[in-house]
A and B are shown apart, each in its own frame.
Chain A
Amino acid sequence: MAIDASFDSPGIFRRYIERNARYALSLIKVPASQPLSRKKLTIAFQALQYTLALPELWAFSKQLLLALAPQMELLDLRVLWLPYLKEGLRQSLNQHDEEAELSLRYYLGNFLREANAYDEAIEQYTRGMVLAEKRGDVGMKVRLLNRYAFALRRKGDLDRAEEYANLALSLAENEPIEQGYSNLVLGAVRYDQRRWDSCLTYASRALEIWLEHDAGRNLAWAYTNLGVTLWRKGELEKAKKYLESGIRIFEEIGDIVHQASAKMNMGAVLIEANEPERALSYLAEAEKVFHAIQDKRRMAMVANNLAHVYQMMGIYDDALDAFQQSVSLWQAVGEPARALNVLHSVISLLLDMGEIQHAQKLLQEAYLELASIEGHPDYERLVTDFERLEMKTTVVAD
């Protein structure tokens, strides 16, 4: 029995795809900072799956991609989203749609950066900046410069990160939100350089700017960064207060992933404040989100913090397991310096537990691994740390 219709059913289906895309777009017309409901997100996402299959509906795909991208960023649905962004970028190139290409490179760069693919992210930002320059789009250029700087900072290239953040700042005269972002990146660079006072200055400036211009996600970030900086300065009560503000705003806007990051930081502060039970609660909340999205970098961080909590609570086996998980995760994401940092904690713990042979074996592995990070900013410090540990190992063994 043939499929007959008195009408052109494939043609009608294609028209439906277009109407469905219009309908989805009408549903998702909300400020990018507000999360969409699960229902709306599902409808829009499904509409996009169909429009992307029809190049003639590029105009709809573009609108859906650009409307969904900030939402996907907000929810950090990168596992689902990356293939769509890549397909969108491919189609934007085929369609010679530079406006879409520029935005998609920006979002793609952000997702790649958050997925720890820094070189790929930088490539997208670079191409985006060239395009922004060509189109005379200063606003977009500044945004890309800032994200480029942020990716460099994540990569450990602090000097260039600072250079690009300053360049962005110099161009951001009419872009207050981006001025805040430049300050955020500069603060992060200072944080990595352990220059806490300077870090506090930048973080405070970012907060001031965003308090005036943005009550959403950026503000939550500013509170969180300020909280972390104050923690480093030893001002734990103030740090808790700022982190609580950050967590609350992330909650309000439905940004569960960045809220989890703020909770992880709160956990770290609570460890220092000698409140292991509360720290455990925050860290466990954060860990399940990172695990759900398979964010190995943050999983590595939170595992390390959890290990410290277990150590404080005297649960040494769990502490050891968590430390070792953190080491493996840092190695998996290609950050050997961080892996070594945690390995240092593992060896210290083993010494405390009296497991000297195991500690000595790991120490040898650490020395082998140290050679691979020669030239890294943390190299000298780590060498010194491991030498101290070796002395301790010898003393305990004697």
Chain B
Amino acid sequence: MLILLLKAILSSIPSSHSILATIKIMSENSFAPPESFVKLVRNGLLQLKQGKPSDLEELLYIVRLRHSKEAQQMGAVRYGVTKAIDQLELQDPEAAAVLRQRYLDRKSIQEIVSITHRSQASVHRDLRLAAEKLADILWQHEIEEHRNYERIQLRRLEPPTYDQLFGVDDIAQKLFDLLVDPAGPTPVMLVGSGGIGKTALADHLSRKIIQAHVFTGIGWISMRPQISLWDVRPFFTADSPEHAIEQLFERLTAQLLGEKYVPSPFDLDKALDRLEIFLNRSNHFIVIDNLEVFEPEETLLTILRRFTPYTKFLLTSRKSPTVYPDVYPVRIPPINAEASLALLRHEARKRNVVSLIHARDEDLMTIYDTVGGNPLALKLVVGQASYHALSTVLEDIQLARGKTVQDLYDYLYRWAWSNLSEPEQKIFLAMPLLPPEGGDFEQIVAITGMDEDTVHDALEKLVSRSLVDVIPGLEQSTYAVHGLTRTFVQEQAAKWR
């Protein structure tokens, strides 16, 4: 029965989004529909009258109504237009009446002339004006549906970990084009070292794709270990590759199809069958982040093949693409010099590092030449420039020249550590003991045993050195460190294995 219901719902999902392409050009304040939309409504009404498939079928407003019983009985477009005309009646009863007579009751112009005792020319004019008013109403519905679509899709993403991305415009555009191209490859895998920005880029692409309305929906599943006991669908960190696979598709089924379509009892094959029906009917964009955390790649890729080419999968991993022969790999390169400089200046402005804000490009290029275009590494350098003369920073980073990414981070963290005051080092040392998602001020005070003012000042400095992140919260902010930072503090500074 669920399958039948699923099929019924799926049959109501448009396979293309040409109308949405029109909608996306609107601005938040555009209350009046563009002429192209008015024309679409006029044509749609005519097609409805003639009993032909109507262009109005692709309006999101009509798509949503298709689930209703009335729409099943009388046809979605007819039902949607009837409702919109009812709405128009409240504003302009005459306009509503003439539209109803012409397009729902299918009366000829002559019949309407007889009923209304108006000239043919007047009836034509009345119909044109009434159709424009109806287009206004449908346009408002579309704006509303458009907002709903974005809200629903955005809710599936995690909070972004960046405020602005640098140097990814080209790769983001290429990836966007690749992913929205129906003939493009899938799955696409973003590969790169830690701190290079794979998750940030995947998030950026997802937001761009949502705005573009080119997919019916998007999905986002992170393979990071986590426990979610309190959610609608509880889950725990998987304890085997098989469990990880089950969990992934259980969550994806719930996210895309809704809770009631998750097979009960859970059965992976059934869930995959349902996803296959759903995904093969409508185009979706699905991100599977942090694939390297668990290693279900062989089984996973075999399963993903079932959904291609209708669904575009974007995977992220630190692992080399050679491990994944069937995947279209995209190695995330370090950002280029121009972007690195822009990032350095952006971070400098955020932290009010005057020496960098006004630094000459040659000086910033020295940083780039040494550190390369790794965003996290560049931020760490900005952090150092917050407290040291630029000349000192430039001199110190020379020692990092020519190092591998791992050695570079090691050097940068050691360098940062050596430049911290004793209270700052002591606060920094406490960071691995906080929960990975962030700990609060009170816990840091309790761990270090320092007075609140000292902790406050030291934290402020660690934040401005890009060693600690502040996560704003409703009641209070929490403090967290990047995974690479945590490893450094624990293994190098605390000598804890």
A368: interface (CB < 8 Å): no
Question: In the complex, what residues of B have CB within 8 A of residue A39's CB?
Answer: 435
Question: In the complex, what residues of B have CB within 8 A of residue A77's CB?
Answer: 227, 229, 236
A residues near B (Cβ < 8 Å) are: 1-7, 9-10, 12-13, 16-17, 19-20, 22-23, 26, 38-39, 42-43, 46-47, 50, 75, 77, 79-80, 256, 280, 283-284, 287-289, 291-294, 299, 302-303, 306, 313, 315, 318, 321-322, 325-326
Question: In the complex, what residues of A have CB within 8 A of residue B415's CB?
Answer: 1
CA distance A308 to B447 in the complex (A): 55
Apart from A288-B264, A294-B243: 13 A-B pairs, beta carbons within 8 A: A9-B494, A9-B495, A22-B446, A23-B443, A79-B236, A80-B227, A80-B237, A287-B265, A292-B233, A294-B239, A299-B265, A321-B267, A321-B270
Question: In the complex, what residues of B have CB within 8 A of residue A22's CB?
Answer: 446
Q: State how many angstroms separate the Cβ of B253 from the closest Cβ of chain A.
A: 11
Task: Across the A-B interface, give the 5 residue pairs with the lowest CB-CB distance, nearest first.
Answer: A13-B494, A23-B446, A284-B264, A303-B265, A292-B234
B414: interface (CB < 8 Å): yes
Q: Are A16 and B267 in contact (CB under 8 A)?
A: no
Question: In the complex, what residues of A have CB within 8 A of residue B260's CB?
Answer: 284
CA distance A4 to B418 in the complex (A): 7
Q: State how many angstroms separate the Cβ of B82 from the closest Cβ of chain A.
A: 32
Task: Among B266, B433, B448, B495, point to the contact of A10 (Cβ < 8 A).
Answer: B495
CA distance A22 to B445 in the complex (A): 12
CA distance A19 to B450 in the complex (A): 12
For A78, give the chain B residue with the smallest CB separation.
Answer: B236
For B246, give the chain A residue with the smallest CB separation.
Answer: A291
B25: interface (CB < 8 Å): no
Q: Are A9 and B429 in contact (CB under 8 A)?
A: yes
Question: In the complex, what residues of A have CB within 8 A of residue B434's CB?
Answer: 46
B492: interface (CB < 8 Å): yes
Question: In the complex, what residues of A have CB within 8 A of residue B262's CB?
Answer: 288
Q: State how many angstroms separate the Cβ of B410 from the closest Cβ of chain A.
A: 9
Q: Are B493 and A3 in contact (CB under 8 A)?
A: yes
Which among B235, B411, B418, B446 has the highest number of chain A CB atoms within 10 Å? B446
Q: State how many angstroms separate the Cβ of B485 from the closest Cβ of chain A.
A: 14
For A10, give the chain B residue with the smallest CB separation.
Answer: B495
Q: Are B236 and A293 in contact (CB under 8 A)?
A: yes
CA distance A195 to B415 in the complex (A): 75
Question: In the complex, what residues of A have CB within 8 A of residue B399's CB?
Answer: 1
Question: In the complex, what residues of A have CB within 8 A of residue B234's CB?
Answer: 256, 288-289, 292-293
Instruction: Given A5-B493, A39-B435, A288-B264, check contact A313 B236 (CB 8 Å).
Output: no
CA distance A1 to B417 in the complex (A): 10
Instruction: Given A42-B435, A47-B433, A288-B264, check contact A9 B1 (CB 8 Å).
Output: no
CB-defined interface of B406-446 with A at 8 Å, one 1/0 digit per residue? 00000100110110001001100110011101010001001
Question: In the complex, what residues of A have CB within 8 A of residue B264's CB?
Answer: 280, 283-284, 287-288, 306
Question: In the complex, what residues of B have CB within 8 A of residue A303's CB?
Answer: 265
Question: In the complex, what residues of B have CB within 8 A of residue A9's CB?
Answer: 425, 429, 493-495
CA distance A80 to B235 in the complex (A): 12
CA distance A20 to B227 in the complex (A): 22
Instruction: Given A10-B496, A16-B447, A38-B230, check contact A5 B422 (CB 8 Å).
Output: yes
B250: interface (CB < 8 Å): yes
B residues near A (Cβ < 8 Å) are: 1-2, 227, 229-230, 233-237, 239, 243, 250, 260, 262, 264-267, 270, 399, 411, 414-415, 417-418, 422, 425-426, 429-430, 433-435, 437, 439, 443, 446-449, 492-496
Question: In the complex, what residues of A have CB within 8 A of residue B266's CB?
Answer: 287-288, 291
CA distance A91 to B227 in the complex (A): 27
Instruction: Given A7-B422, A16-B447, A38-B229, check contact A50 B414 (CB 8 Å).
Output: no
Question: In the complex, what residues of A have CB within 8 A of residue B449's CB?
Answer: 19
Q: State how many angstroms separate the Cβ of B469 from the closest Cβ of chain A.
A: 18
A-B contact pairs, 16 of them (CB 8 A): A1-B411, A3-B417, A9-B429, A9-B494, A9-B495, A10-B496, A13-B495, A23-B443, A23-B446, A43-B443, A79-B239, A283-B264, A288-B233, A292-B236, A325-B265, A325-B267
Question: In the complex, what residues of A have CB within 8 A of residue B435's CB?
Answer: 39, 42-43, 46
CA distance A313 to B449 in the complex (A): 64
For B497, give the chain A residue with the smallest CB separation.
Answer: A53
Q: Are A46 and B433 in contact (CB under 8 A)?
A: yes
Q: Are A12 and B414 in contact (CB under 8 A)?
A: no
Q: State how many angstroms separate the Cβ of A76 from the closest Cβ of chain B.
A: 9
Q: Are B418 and A1 in contact (CB under 8 A)?
A: yes
For A284, give the chain B residue with the smallest CB separation.
Answer: B264
Q: State how many angstroms separate the Cβ of A77 from the closest Cβ of chain B.
A: 7
Question: In the complex, what residues of B have CB within 8 A of residue A19's CB?
Answer: 446-449
CA distance A289 to B233 in the complex (A): 8
Question: In the complex, what residues of B have CB within 8 A of residue A50's CB?
Answer: 433
Q: Are A10 and B447 in contact (CB under 8 A)?
A: no
Q: Are A313 and B1 in contact (CB under 8 A)?
A: yes
CA distance A77 to B239 in the complex (A): 12
Question: In the complex, what residues of A have CB within 8 A of residue B270's CB?
Answer: 321
Question: In the complex, what residues of B have CB within 8 A of residue A292's CB?
Answer: 229, 233-236
CA distance A294 to B284 in the complex (A): 30
Q: State how many angstroms separate the Cβ of A385 from the closest Cβ of chain B.
A: 23
Q: Are A291 and B250 in contact (CB under 8 A)?
A: yes
Question: In the complex, what residues of B have CB within 8 A of residue A13's CB?
Answer: 429, 493-496
Q: State how many angstroms separate the Cβ of A226 from the closest Cβ of chain B.
A: 27
Q: State how many angstroms separate the Cβ of A300 from the closest Cβ of chain B.
A: 9
Which among A5, A7, A50, A299 has the highest number of chain B CB atoms within 10 Å? A5
Question: In the complex, what residues of B have CB within 8 A of residue A299's CB?
Answer: 265
Q: State how many angstroms separate the Cβ of A297 from the closest Cβ of chain B.
A: 13
Question: In the complex, what residues of A have CB within 8 A of residue B267's CB?
Answer: 321, 325
Instruction: Given A288-B262, A292-B233, check contact A7 B1 (CB 8 Å).
Output: no
Q: State how many angstroms separate the Cβ of A174 from the closest Cβ of chain B.
A: 36
Q: State how many angstroms separate the Cβ of B2 from the closest Cβ of chain A.
A: 8
CA distance A318 to B270 in the complex (A): 10
Question: In the complex, what residues of A have CB within 8 A of residue B433's CB?
Answer: 16-17, 20, 46-47, 50
Question: In the complex, what residues of A have CB within 8 A of residue B1's CB?
Answer: 313, 315
Question: In the complex, what residues of A have CB within 8 A of residue B230's CB?
Answer: 38
Which among A2, A12, A287, A322 has the highest number of chain B CB atoms within 10 Å? A12
Q: State how many angstroms separate the Cβ of B243 from the closest Cβ of chain A.
A: 7
For B417, give the chain A residue with the smallest CB separation.
Answer: A3
For B496, give the chain A residue with the smallest CB separation.
Answer: A13
CA distance A289 to B229 in the complex (A): 9
CA distance A79 to B266 in the complex (A): 19
CA distance A308 to B265 in the complex (A): 12
For A7, give the chain B residue with the smallest CB separation.
Answer: B422
Question: In the complex, what residues of A have CB within 8 A of residue B426's CB?
Answer: 7, 12
CA distance A177 to B109 in the complex (A): 85
Instruction: Given A287-B265, A288-B233, check contact A20 B446 (CB 8 Å).
Output: yes
CA distance A47 to B443 in the complex (A): 11
Which among B229, B243, B495 has the highest number of chain A CB atoms within 10 Å? B229
Question: In the complex, what residues of A have CB within 8 A of residue B448's CB?
Answer: 16, 19
Q: State how many angstroms separate the Cβ of A60 from the closest Cβ of chain B.
A: 13
